[in-house]
Structure 1
Amino acid sequence: MSKSGTDMRHHKKPIISPLRYPGGKASLYTRLRAIVRANDLTSGTYIEPYAGGAGAALGLLVTGQVRRIVINDLDPAIYAFWKAVVSEPLAISRRIEKVELSVKEWARQKDVYLNAPRDDYLNLGFATFFLNRTNRSGVLNGGPIGGMDQTGKYKIDARFNRDALAERLRLIALHAKRISVTNLDGMTVIKRYSKRDNTFIYADPPYFEKAGSLYLNSFDQSHHSSLAACLNSVSDAKWLLTYDNVSRVADLYADRRREIFSLNYSAHRVTKANEVMVFSDSLTVV
């Protein structure tokens, strides 16, 4: 296994996603762009089966590195947000402009998040967005920045820059016709697109360690094993996988190329962690 000393902090990246995501991979934009170009996929479709914040996907699309992207997330709340952003961007933007940034409103949006019908994309999607921008570290099951009594150093509006967020939505809306949003199991998406030409799958599933507190849909051991069986069975497709750097990854992907990289990680506090990339056999790696 090769080891890269590259620190992903120093790569310039477009910040397009309106969501804050612990361990988000927008910082891999430069590397992913190079891989897309090296594999002659600039006219192709880029797929994220476990999209979350979809930072890398949106960066590649908006800067013209790929023609289309697929944002998939099994979590109904995250799916509702992306569905609303793509289909009703003006409605979301108006709410960003007018919503009150208070603990009272936070409690109302929390209730919507917990109780709204799963197909009420606009209300559920906006509630998801509101909590993501006003909760500590963006974790949806967390509490508001500054605490319920707002005595913390930072207040509930600290990560809710209305103008900047509206601009990100405007950029996404310009490219909405080239964005597909789905609410499927990630392996279903991998199987579907691995059979198609001119596609690149970037899988960033919930990780082995601390997944329950950081991700809305955490995996157990059987999920990790099933995903490995799925990806290993389509090693002739073009895909890249990222994981936390644990020994189990080397066991599950013993026949695939792997590379360690470092990444800034933000959830409650900022740290730098080693993670691992796994490459399909047919992918040209740069």
Structure 2
Amino acid sequence: YYTGHDISPEFSINFWKEQKKIYSGNKTHQNSVDLAFATLFLNRSNMSGIINGGPIGGYSQNGTSQIYSRFNKKTLINKITTISSRKKQIRLTRKNALDMIPMIKKEISPSSCFIFFDPPYFGQGQNLYYSSFNKKGHELLSKEILSLHEYRWITTYDKTKQITDMYQDNNKNFEYHLRYSANNKKRGSAPELLFASPTLKIDSYDKVNLLSI
């Protein structure tokens, strides 16, 4: 794990700005530990974990939560250590999902995998992420996902009519509510959509109640 910085509840918004600069800057830090740390830090200290979402608690840090509230060193170290112990089982490709799905069909048997698709939001995707889809991109993705007839998969989305229409022929479609904190001034229960493959047995768990749609 990264030891180049002393992270504590007292770190300032200036430290956050330094990490944002590393992440958004030139190629000096490309493929470096500094860039890896900046990416991890921004994911943990930004609203909803979105790199482009702005710091938890705002730039003035006068919100009910501050930028360090989701940066638990012990938990993060344990997660990184676990991932490292399984590195021989992990393959990173950086491929677009539209390229990845044909590769999955060719190389991976349906019985040996479970797939979670996490596409950018339809409604606010272009405002929240550096890389997003337009409507046509979401339509193409839905067709590829729905073509995985024998595979076990799940995908989640923000609730929009356009996305519901794209998956209307799927027979395991659900709505659920999730605590939403992309805007720290107003927290609430935002409806989300979950689509699952016909081959997957799925049920509600803990505080997430799935309602069939």
User: TM > 0.5 between the two?
Assistant: yes
Distance in 1 of aligned mates of 2:158 and 2:58: 30
Distance in 1 of aligned mates of 2:37 and 2:89: 22
> Which of 160, 163, 167 is equivalent to 1:253?
167
Q: Which structure carries more relative contact order (alpha carbon 8 Å, separation 6+)? A: 1
What is the DSSP-based 3-state SS (H/G/I as helix, E as strand, rest coil) of the residue aligned with 1:181?
coil
**Alignment of structure 1 residues 228-239 onto 2, 5 Å:** 228-239=142-153
Deviation at 1:135, TM superposition (A): 2.8
- Percent of pairs with identical residues: 32
- Do the aligned residues in 2 keep the contact of 1:194 with 1:237 (CA within 8 Å)? no
> Which of 68, 72, 81 is equivalent to 1:157?
68
Q: Which residue of 2 aligns with 1:106?
A: 16
Name whichever structure is richer in helix by fraction.
1
Q: Which residue of 1 aligns with 2:141?
A: 227
Asked if 1:279 corresponds to 2:203, the answer is no
Distance in 1 of aligned mates of 2:192 and 2:59: 35
> CA 1:250/1:152 → structure 2, altered by over 3 Å: closer, same or farther?
closer
Distance in 2 of aligned mates of 1:119 and 1:147: 28
Deviation at 1:133, TM superposition (A): 2.3
Name whichever structure is richer in strand by fraction.
1
- Do the aligned residues in 2 keep the contact of 1:113 with 1:124 (CA within 8 Å)? yes
- Do the aligned residues in 2 keep the contact of 1:262 with 1:272 (CA within 8 Å)? no
> CA 1:192/1:265 → structure 2, altered by over 3 Å: closer, same or farther?
farther
Stretches of structure 1 that go unaligned for 5 or more consecutive residues are: 1-89
Q: Which residue of 2 aligns with 1:63?
A: none
**Alignment of structure 1 residues 181-260 onto 2, 5 Å:** 181-195=92-106, 196-197=108-109, 198-260=112-174
Deviation at 1:223, TM superposition (A): 0.5
Distance in 1 of aligned mates of 2:160 and 2:47: 27
Q: Which TM-score applies when normalising by structure 1?
A: 0.58
Stretches of structure 2 that go unaligned for 5 or more consecutive residues are: 203-213
> CA 1:158/1:186 → structure 2, altered by over 3 Å: closer, same or farther?
same
Deviation at 1:221, TM superposition (A): 0.6
- Do the aligned residues in 2 keep the contact of 1:206 with 1:215 (CA within 8 Å)? yes
Deviation at 1:134, TM superposition (A): 2.5
Amino acid aligned to 2:173: E
Q: Which TM-score applies when normalising by structure 2?
A: 0.75
CA RMSD of the aligned region, Å?
A: 2.7
- Do the aligned residues in 1 keep the contact of 2:122 with 2:163 (CA within 8 Å)? no
Amino acid aligned to 1:279: A
> CA 1:147/1:194 → structure 2, altered by over 3 Å: closer, same or farther?
same
